[in-house]
Amino acid sequence: MKKTRVINSDISRVIAQMGHFDTLSIGDAGMPVPKTTEKIDLAVENGIPSFLQVLDNVLSELQVQRVYLAEEIKLKNPKQLAQIKQRFPKTELVFIPHAEMKQNLQTCHAFIRTGEMTPYSNIILESGVTF
């Protein structure tokens, strides 16, 4: 059995297959996911698991060099944005329109759906390198 924090087999597989500049998305229960993008559905009920719980789990294994967030999070969910910023003190945060974020899901390795039900709790993580 794995000794690391990511024990979900699908999430572990996706992270292991990622290379430099590849992307992985984590989001709320309402985010529409393109049919061509793998969806790893963890949602159980409202808030379970939370966006931040899943983000922290993924960050325990994935090297991130850039983060993409919806511009709308600044006004519609500033508390969530503050929590995200705490997790990325030295990482570039790029704000894009939510409509563009939805389009960018087409090129993500996967979308991890959480039970989060707060607005614009979606993120695209760009993989970095560890060397």
Sequential DSSP letters for 36-104: TSEEEE---BTTBS-HHHHHHHHHTT--EEEEEEETTHHHH-HHHHHHHHHH-TTSEEEEE-HHHHHHH
Give the domain extent around 87. 24-127
Q: Does 48 fall in a domain?
A: yes
- In-domain check, residue 5: no
- Backbone φ and ψ of 69, nearest 5°: -130, 155
Chain segment 46-99, per-residue pLDDT in tens: 999 999 999 999 999 999 999 999 999 999 999 999 999 999 999 999 999 999
Q: Which of these is catalytic: 5, 7, 9, 20? A: 20
For the full predicted model, state whether its pTM sits above 0.75. Answer: yes
Annotation marks residue 20 as catalytic: yes
Q: pLDDT over 70 for what percent of the chain?
A: 100
For residues 29-56, average pLDDT? 98
Residue in 119, 108, 114 with CA at minimum distance from that of residue 14: 108
If you average pLDDT over residues 12-23, what whole number do you get? 97
Q: Is residue 91 part of a domain?
A: yes
Which residue ranges are tagged as binding site for substrate? 28, 98, 120-122
Q: What is the mean pLDDT of the chain?
A: 97
Is the residue at 18 inside a domain? Answer: no
Domains of the chain: total: 1
